[in-house]
Every structure is written in C-alpha cells, then in structure tokens.
Amino acid sequence: MPDTSKLEKLNRELEKSEKKLRKAINDEKALQHQLKQLTRKERTHRLCTRGGMLESFLQEPERLTDDDVMVLLKLIFHRQDTQELLKKLLERKKPETP
C-alpha cells in the first residue's frame, strides 16, 4: 500500500507542476501581447508626431498629394548635405557597446 500513496503523491505533484507550467505559458503569452501593443502604440505615436512635423513645413499640405510629398522628400534626402547631416545625427545617437 505505501507504493500506491507514493504514486498518488507523485501524480498530484505532477498535476500541480503541469498547472504551473500552463499558467506560466499563459502569462508569457499575455506579456508578449502587451509588448506588441506597446510597440505598436509607440510606433503610431512616432509616425503621427513626425508626420505633423513634416506638415508644419509644407505650404498648403492639403493641396499636395502623397506622391508630391514623396518627390519632395526624395529630393531633400538625396542631397549630399542632407546625407552628411543624417549620418552625423545617427553617429551621435549610436548605442554604446560594452
């Protein structure tokens, strides 16, 4: 009989461990979902903010098409001085490696 109670005890521990594992897996999924939402919100905020910045420099932005704005941006960003400035800004913001 002692073997049976030991077996039952091990089965209960196994069930308890499996329950903890399922909970941990569900918690991980919930955290991943939260991370995706925060990342998406951060990106949306950045896009809206920068789009607003761009519009503040355009004269009569409502009259320009998306293609017009793309042509303007391509022209600006293909200039050598713009490329150099962008490179300097990116270098300044480069993360430090340990």
Map out the domains of the chain as residue ranges. Answer: 1-57, 60-97
Confidence of residue 97 (pLDDT cuts 50, 70, 90): low
pLDDT tens, position by position, 57-74: 999 999 999 999 999 999
The alpha carbon of 2 is separated from its chain's Cα centroid by a whole number of angstroms, namely: 55
pLDDT tens, position by position, 38-57: 999 999 999 999 999 999 99
> Between the CA of residue 65 and those of 49, 51, 53, 54, 68, what are the distances in Å?
19, 14, 17, 14, 5
